[in-house]
Amino acid sequence: MNVSYERVSTIKQDERRQEISLESYKIDKRYIDKASGKNADRIQLSKLMLDVTKGDNIYIESISRLGRNVDDLRKLCDYFVDKGVKVHFIKEGFTTEGNMYKFMLTILSAVGEMEREVLVERVREGMQKAQKFGTKSGIPIGRPAAQLPKDFEKYYKRWISKEITGTEFAKLLGVGRPTMYRYIKSYEK
């Protein structure tokens, strides 16, 4: 029997990319998890482990879909090999047939684990910057505050004392009324 194992990290993500990469294989049954790959405690993975029998083939789009932890990946592959099941990693182009897979799995999964750690660290840094700057991205939002025109204060005082109208105030500044009101708001802070 040919089965596939597909995994996406969140419920919002879609597994179609993996499904497309597996189209050229005759898949009898699909196992799909919507869970993190940081550990092997996943419902569909557990079902897959129980369901497969000697002579079955498991097709997986890439190593990272099976897991992101080197030790978990080794244990999972060893489990399937001991059960007489061959695992095919499509993207990386190797299977668990023979002993070379152990080397490939160790190297490639170590790179995947490192990528995940770097990603987590970048997210953590971004969150710290966001807290520091008071924004979601860590970068101040919007345009920088506009510089008030040279004679703003002089015309502002005349407008406040009702010597000139808002329309006249805006014309003297050389801007539209909405811009004039933004200047006033900025000035009065």
Active site residue 64: no
Higher pLDDT, 55 or 145: 55
Average of per-residue pLDDT across 74-88: 95
Average pLDDT of span 96-111 = 87
What is the per-residue pLDDT for 44?
A: 94
Residues in Cβ contact with 149 at an 8 Å cutoff, skipping those fewer than 6 apart: 173, 174, 175, 183
Whether 120 and 172 map to the same domain: the answer is no
Overall average pLDDT of the 64-89 stretch? 92
Separation between Cα atoms, residue 28 and residue 19, nearest integer Å: 13
In a domain, 158, yes or no: yes
Q: Which of 4, 9, 21, 109 is catalytic?
A: 9
Q: Is 181 helix (H, G, I), strand (E, B) or coil?
A: helix
Query: Sheet harboring 29-34: ordered strands across?
Result: 29-34, 2-8, 57-60, 86-89, 94-95
Could you tell me if 103 and 18 lie in one domain?
yes
Q: Band of the pLDDT at 146, cuts 50, 70, 90?
A: low
- pLDDT, residue 29, reads 96
38, part of any domain: yes
8-17, 57-66, 161-170: least confidently modelled range: 8-17
* Residues 55 and 84 occupy one common structural domain: yes
Same domain for 91 and 164: no
* 17 shares its domain with 75: yes
* Helix (H), strand (E) at residue 152: helix 152-160
Q: 126 with 157, same domain?
A: no
Residues 125, 157: one domain?
Answer: no
Query: In sequence order, what E strands does the chain have?
Result: 2-8, 29-34, 57-60, 86-89, 94-95
Q: Does residue 145 carry a pLDDT above 70?
A: no
Domain co-membership, 156 together with 122: no
Which range of residues forms the domain containing residue 46?
Answer: 2-131
Both 126 and 164 in a single domain? no
Q: Is residue 44 part of a domain?
A: yes
Whole-model pTM? 0.63
